[in-house]
Structure 1
Amino acid sequence: MSYAHRQTTLPSHIRPSSGFANNPSASTQSSALQARINEKKMELENLRQLRDLSGGLAGQMQQLEEKLSTLSNGTEAVAAVLGNWHNVLRAIHMASAKLPKPKDGDADAEAEDGVPLPQTLVRIPIQTAEAMQKEAEVMQNEAEAAAEAGE
């Protein structure tokens, strides 16, 4: 079997031209490529914006996590205090139950509605605190006067 010899060169009307400007399909391809490049540039810009916004959101989430940690610690402290209130109230009740009942003529031990009040468990001498505060003010004034005289 013999094969017919094939022509390896294309006829001139089928050969592509060397310049893109002369070929209308090449300019269409060029504009399509330019449109695709522009589309990819917009996509890149959007991705950069997304990256920046994601970074900001991550920072805000870290701050929120720190605040929630602080809030959690504060909540645990409040829970501990509230857990102790039962013991505090029970101690007050026990102390009040052991105190002698006020006499009928004792007006200080009754509230406005006539219900007797429990005895005060802790007494803070206000007069002593006021005297100490006045003494501290006098000493501070003397120290300021001495400092001004020394200048």
Structure 2
Amino acid sequence: MSTPSQQAPPHLIQRMQEKEQELEQLLILRQLATHLQTHFDELSDKFDGLVQGNQAVSKVLENWSDVFRTINMTDNYASQDQEGEQDRSSLVRIPIV
């Protein structure tokens, strides 16, 4: 009994070998695409974390204007208080650099 490859013409055997190589390359490509997709998913998660962190920083920075306004008001009150020589026991002065 002879095997099918011995009965097949040489050009068909060559064509079959080319298709097997093509299949191997496609399997490698699929594996690389899966790794790439995993990498991009992880990257997306990291960007989501950065966006959330940036939002938190933005909220903190928004509050700084209120802090400086409060310091300024306190400084103005302290200046007025010194002029009138009133009791400043509840006032805390914070120097602005």
Normalised TM-score (structure 1): 0.51
Map of 1:144 onto structure 2? none
| Unpaired runs of at least 5, structure 1 | 1-18, 100-118, 124-151
Map of 1:122 onto structure 2? 89
Map of 1:72 onto structure 2? 58
Residue type at the aligned position of 2:36: L
Go from structure 1 to structure 2 and tell me whether the alpha carbon gap of 1:39 and 1:93 turns closer, same or farther (over 3 Å shift). same
- 1:35 lines up with 2:9 in the alignment: no
The runs of at least 4 consecutive aligned structure 1 residues that moved more than 3 Å come to 19-22
- 1:48 lines up with 2:34 in the alignment: yes
- 1:63 lines up with 2:30 in the alignment: no
Go from structure 1 to structure 2 and tell me whether the alpha carbon gap of 1:120 and 1:34 turns closer, same or farther (over 3 Å shift). farther
Which of 1 and 2 has higher RCO (CA within 8 Å, sep 6+)? 2
Map of 1:14 onto structure 2? none
Residue type at the aligned position of 1:121: R
Taking the TM superposition and a 5 Å limit, the aligned residue runs for 1:66-105 are: 66-99=52-85
Shift of 1:84: 2.3
Which is higher, the Rg of structure 1 or of structure 2?
1
Q: Supply the distance in 2 between the matched residues of 1:32 and 1:70 (Cα, whole angstroms).
A: 57
Shift of 1:20: 4.7
Q: Supply the distance in 1 between the matched residues of 2:87 and 2:29 (Cα, whole angstroms).
A: 75
Percent identical residues? 9
Shift of 1:79: 2.1
